[in-house]
Amino acid sequence: MSNVADQVPFLSTAELAHFIKSKQISCRQVLEIFLARCSQLNPSVNAIVVFDIERARSRASAADVALSKGEDWGVLHGVPCTIKENNDYKGTVATQGDPAWKNRVSPHSEVAIQRLLSHGAIIFGKTNLPFHAMDLQSYNDVYGTTHNPWDDTRTPGGSSGGSCVAVACGFTPFELGGDIGGSIRTPAAFCGVFGHKPTFGIIPKRGPFMEKHPKEISVRGPFARNADDLRLLMECLAFTDGASSRGMTMNLPRPTKKKLSEYKIAIWSDDLAAPVDDELVDAAERVALTLERLGATVSRTARPDYDFQSRNTSIYFKLTAAAATLSGEKPLKEVTLKEYRQALEEREEIRSSWERYFQEYDVLICPSHSTPAFVIDESEPKTKRTINVRRNGNIEQMSYYQPLWWAFLTNTGLLPSTTFPCGVGQLSNLPLGLNVVSSEYNDFICIDFVRLLSQESTNYEFTAPPGYGKKDAASQGKL
């Protein structure tokens, strides 16, 4: 049992569930190991900002009793985890980093959290995010700044920055974040973990502090340290419920291809609309060469027939501005009802363009963001900020929000996207991450493609940040 205990922070979700159910370690022991690790290491990165320890301990003890009686709560029985601070979990604060909401306690759990609990998960904390979950970094006046464990001068990304740091540092085997403009994909890439932005609407997004109908484009999605865990979590989270499905049932397509050689893949590694750092362009080319070596069909020039460069960003802002207005928030720019209706029509053109594209190509590989993790910048106004990008060996500056073009590229089409690690940059010494995108509802196909790719090379597996891996724990006495 001691050997299992030593491995706990580095085990996958599936492995933890197996060891718990086979009684090689108890639920309570697993929880205490994570809590001890968080106590020792979390202060330096400030990933977990809310702890719910006593309730978690009580639930872990109950999970152990249930196992002793032969009861099985589900595939996550007794597995501890954290969730993003803005997830509604009954009895916990949901401030969204807003001091005006510091006493805002969720009266009940949102649907996605109920789903995790129904499968046996034990939630022991909540992770940091930017103010109202709307930034490329993760800091606010309630909880402070979250740092990237690879370099504490760098951001872990936003808005699910705390989520990804917690997974990368071994504080939790998985997390639940959200994405409206890259908030799953960018932090996953910046921290070197796996993340999945689902097809819009397949994970119900309802709760006490959420709209009856979810915001345009906005989704919930999981983070983990391997693709198999993403699949497991999507099995738990993706479903229809009575309030949102209205009689529809969900039967997401399953992978049919067994080898990467069977895939037809497009690579979109760079674009003048949001120029990409040399390290990420090179990483995409290495992926392309790996796929070609394995016998896959790869195109570096295939693009959809919609003009994404000049039109897509405008459509994104019109859709999200309307949703913000309806929820009482102030959008970046007001839109009229006519503009919103026109944006909805345009979105259907975008969806049709992607549908035609994915009739020819199985998946698209593209960046999450134009750069690896950038230096923390909390100056105001945000619109005056810039980001450094290395182009042909030279450092250039781009506007702070320009890299969002890559998130908007697939957001307006409501497409699923799985972020996967691509090694560590030789110049930056930071994680590199790319996305696998496919047509609507092909979530499990995106995830399985990443699984197959990670089997081909350790370059596409999770790498722990310096000071947080197995060898570091053994040499430094860290749990």
Residue 198 has pLDDT above 60, yes or no: yes
Question: Is-contact 175 163, C-beta < 8 A?
Answer: yes
pLDDT reported for residue 349:
97
Looking at the predicted structure, is the pLDDT value of residue 64 above 80? yes
What's the rounded Cα separation, in Å, for the pair 94 and 92?
A: 7
User: What was the pLDDT predicted at 331?
Assistant: 67
Share of the chain above pLDDT 70, in %: 93
Which one of 26, 109, 163, 183 is the catalytic residue? 183
Say which of 26, 159, 417, 428 is annotated catalytic.
159
pLDDT > 80? residue 246: no
409-440 per-position pLDDT tens digit: 999 999 999 999 999 999 999 999 999 999 99
DSSP 8-class letter at 133: G
Q: What is the pLDDT of residue 74?
A: 98
Is residue 329 a contact partner of residue 267, using CB atoms and an 8 Å limit? no
CA 208 to chain centre: 22
pLDDT at 478: 47
Mean pLDDT value of segment 293-322:
93
The per-residue pLDDT for 214 is: 63
Instruction: Give the model's pLDDT for residue 146.
Output: 98
Q: What gap in Å lies between CA 315 and CA 308, rounded to an integer? A: 10
> With 70 as the cut, is the pLDDT of residue 243 above it?
no
DSSP three-state, residue 285: helix
Catalytic residue among 84, 126, 197, 318: 84
Shortest CA distance to 198 belongs to which of 456, 208, 214? 214
Which domains, from first to last, does the chain contain? 2-302+361-374+384-476 (3.90.1300.10)
Decide: pTM greater than 0.85: yes
Give the whole-angstrom CA distance, residue 215 versus residue 248: 20
pLDDT of residue 251: 86
What is the pLDDT confidence band of residue 320, given thresholds at 50, 70 and 90? confident
**Is 39 tagged catalytic?**
no
* Amino acid 207: pLDDT: 83
- Cα angle 167-172-177, degrees, rounded to a multiple of 5: 60
Q: State the DSSP H helix or E strand holding residue 126, giving kind and residue range, or none if neither.
A: strand 122-127
Bridge-partner residues for 297, per DSSP? 264
Using DSSP's 3-state secondary structure scheme, residue 339 falls into helix
Mean pLDDT calculated for residue range 381-386: 96
What is the rounded average pLDDT for all residues in the chain?
Answer: 94
Instruction: Indicate whether 289 pLDDT > 60.
Output: yes
Q: Is 375 exposed, middle or buried (0-12, 13-18, 19+ CB in 10 A)?
A: exposed
Q: How far is CA 467 from CA 226, 279, 464, 472, 474, in A?
A: 20, 23, 8, 5, 10
- The answer to whether residue 106 is catalytic is no
pLDDT for 240 equals 61
Q: Is 370 one of the catalytic residues?
A: no
337-377: pLDDT as tens digits = 899 899 999 999 999 999 999 999 999 999 999 999 999 99
Whether 128 shows a pLDDT value over 60: the answer reads yes
pLDDT at 328: 62
